[in-house]
Amino acid sequence: MNITNRYAETEVSGMNQVELESRALIRTASRLNQIKENWEQSNDSLSEALEKNRRLWSIIASAMGDNTSPQPEELRKNILNLSMFVFKRTLEILANPKPESLDILININMNIARGLSEHEEVSPEENK
């Protein structure tokens, strides 16, 4: 194992769940954005990037579908609806790929990641 992999594993193991989710959303959004910006060269990577994004949203949807989730029911329903939108949009993009069609998935991931980060920044102060 090289030093970069060990550093990445150590960094990830020190993160809480919210940080991990935020980072995963940003990473998938960044990959989709790279494909969008380099469409002609990266178009063949589209299916793999969309699959990773779909898997991430499947994990999120599964967590929100769990009745023992600490999140309020209304928030869970909204995230589940957003997950369904992401799944539907992913299929539409696969059927008719265009670079601009990735914008909505990129924006959703970045906005959710931003919201998670803002929540994380507020939470420690709430506990004081």
Check residue 31 and give its pLDDT. Answer: 97
Q: Are 125 and 81 in contact (CB under 8 A)?
A: no
How many independent structural domains does the chain possess? 1
Is 7 part of any domain?
A: no
Check residue 16 and give its pLDDT. Answer: 76
The CATH number of whichever domain residue 37 belongs to comes to 1.20.120.340
In angstroms, the CA 117 to CA 25 distance is 11
Is 19 part of any domain?
A: yes
For residue 60, which amino acid is it?
I
Nearest to 25 by CA among 115, 93, 128, 87: 115
Which parts of the chain register pLDDT below 50?
A: 6-8, 10-13, 124-128
Q: What confidence tens digit (pLDDT) does each residue in 62-74 have? A: 999 888 888 899 9
What average pLDDT does the chain have?
Answer: 85
pTM of the complete model: 0.80
Check residue 119 and give its pLDDT. Answer: 65
Is 85 part of any domain?
A: yes
Check residue 62 and give its pLDDT. Answer: 93
Whole domain around residue 21: which residue ranges?
13-126
Is 3 part of any domain?
A: no
Check residue 70 and give its pLDDT. Answer: 86
Question: What are the CA-CA distances from residue 103 to residues 33, 64, 66 (Å)?
Answer: 8, 24, 29
Check residue 84 and give its pLDDT. Answer: 98
Is 8 part of any domain?
A: no
